Amino acid sequence: MFARVWPSSEALLRPRDPSDSYFEAAKSVWWIHDETLNIWSHLTAAALLLASTIRFIIRFYLCREASPTTSTWAIWIYLATATSCFFCSALHHTLSNHSQTAFWLRMDHFGITMFIWGSALSFSVLCFTNHRTTQRAYLGVLTLSMILSLSRLWQDTTHWTHPSRVVIFTHAAHGGLATVPALHFASRIRSRASKAEKRLFWSFLALVVNRTRNGTWGNA
């Protein structure tokens, strides 16, 4: 019975024919082919993150009259970059058989770069609240790294059918730099961090699940 319903391995590995039509490429999301799982996994994640973002914003303005704080903006940036990353990836996989696939692969990597920046930025804002100088330093360095990474990816003249060494090195450098705030904060926790800061660190790890899902960050 399951053999009749579940697609065969040949169907899941079957590539789509090259196309110059965006409509035909978009229509293929309903077919079974080698990009089906990639398309729907990224599209589902993008839809869930977008719903969380909208709910977060609505609940914030319904439950709180004060202006958005720096921490609130950090959460919005995180959600926006995460949503954009998965949406760009879904577009790339949807249009991977299109003649302009190189452009959409580039956009996919732009989304990854922005998500790395948004994740590290929100972490720095929330975990270095009581250390403004350190916080601003990380925000400046991370933003500069993001701008340089986007510029380097844009200037890469390779064919962009597959990630080149330039792309891999750019993501590795940008991603490696993005881990510095977390390593810094972890070292502070082990040495001289207060109990409140330790609780803040672990609260951040559960932030997306517990806060953005319920849209209650404004009430924290």
**Residue stretches of the annotated binding site:** 93
Q: How far apart are CA 7 and CA 34, in angstroms?
A: 11
Q: Return the closest-CA partner of residue 35 out of 104, 110, 114.
A: 104
The DSSP output letter for 217 is G
Tell me the chain's radius of gyration from C-alpha atoms: 20
Q: How far apart are CA 207 and CA 105, in angstroms?
A: 30
Q: Return the closest-CA partner of residue 19 out of 8, 40, 33, 37.
A: 33
Show binding-site residues for Zn(2+). Answer: 93
Q: How far apart are CA 136 and CA 125, in angstroms?
A: 8
Q: Return the closest-CA partner of residue 166 out of 94, 95, 109, 123.
A: 109
Taking the mean position of all CA atoms in its chain, how far away is CA 201? 20
The helix or strand, by DSSP H or E, that contains position 176, with its residue range, turns out to be helix 165-178
Residue that is written with structure tokens 């760009």 in the block: 88
